[in-house]
Amino acid sequence: MAKRSTGPALPGLEVGSWFGPVPSWRRRGADAVEVHAPARSDRFFDPVSGRRQADSPVWLAPATAPATLVAQVRVGFRDTFDAGVLMAYERVDAWAKLCFERSPVGRPTVVSVVTRGTSDDANGWAVDGDVVWLRLSVLPIGYAFHASSDGARWDLVRLFRLRSGADRRVGVSVQAPLGEGCSATFAHVALRPGAVADVRSGA
């Protein structure tokens, strides 16, 4: 695995920092980066057991609403809950993640988690293959998660708020809660000003 460095140097996300452990990562061509999560790393505040885990690597960059973070995400699935992630973060107990995740039945699945003190967990839909487009919209109040098979037509996954809306940051993450590690490749990553006006329109 490639040597560690300060950040993944993705277009639009250069100004940021690692939150949690600094993972191994390497460039994949001109506009993609592969990030590796260590074994049994996750970010989830279990609403049933009360167990809190927050050791998955996350690269976070500042975001001012309205803004949109988009990426094509490819995951080297091996174990249950392996995932490549887009994340919205406000503070240690207020964050959300949009995951391309291996389900307990072995299907690549779009999953969302919103944490306000504790986390929830909501499955979206199964995806054929190991690649999907994910989009995180930073709205004037709140956020929207979308997923797409082609990066052109988008389906709404989640519309939500966190807490204060202050100190908003967005970024990418990889997790491997049950396995020996997971790698995800983020391609065509961009953090742009502006957001879709109608989050249910498919645009």
Q: Where are the beta strands (DSSP E) in 6-107?
A: 17-19, 24-27, 32-38, 43-45, 52-54, 58-62, 67-75, 83-91, 94-102
Model pTM? 0.95
- Distance, CA of 156 to CA of 148 (rounded, Å): 9
Q: What is the reported pLDDT for 43?
A: 97
Q: Split the chain (203 residues) into runs of 10 and give each run's mean pLDDT.
A: 54 80 87 94 97 96 95 98 98 96 98 97 97 97 97 98 87 97 96 95 97
Is 10 inside any structural domain?
A: no
Quick count: other Cβ atoms within 10 Å of Cβ 84? 31
Domain range enclosing 151: 17-192
CATH (domain of 48): 2.60.120.200
Domain count along the chain: 1
- Residue 3 belongs to a domain: no
Tokens standing for residue 52: 């809190």
Q: What is the pLDDT of residue 200?
A: 96
User: Does some domain include residue 88?
Assistant: yes
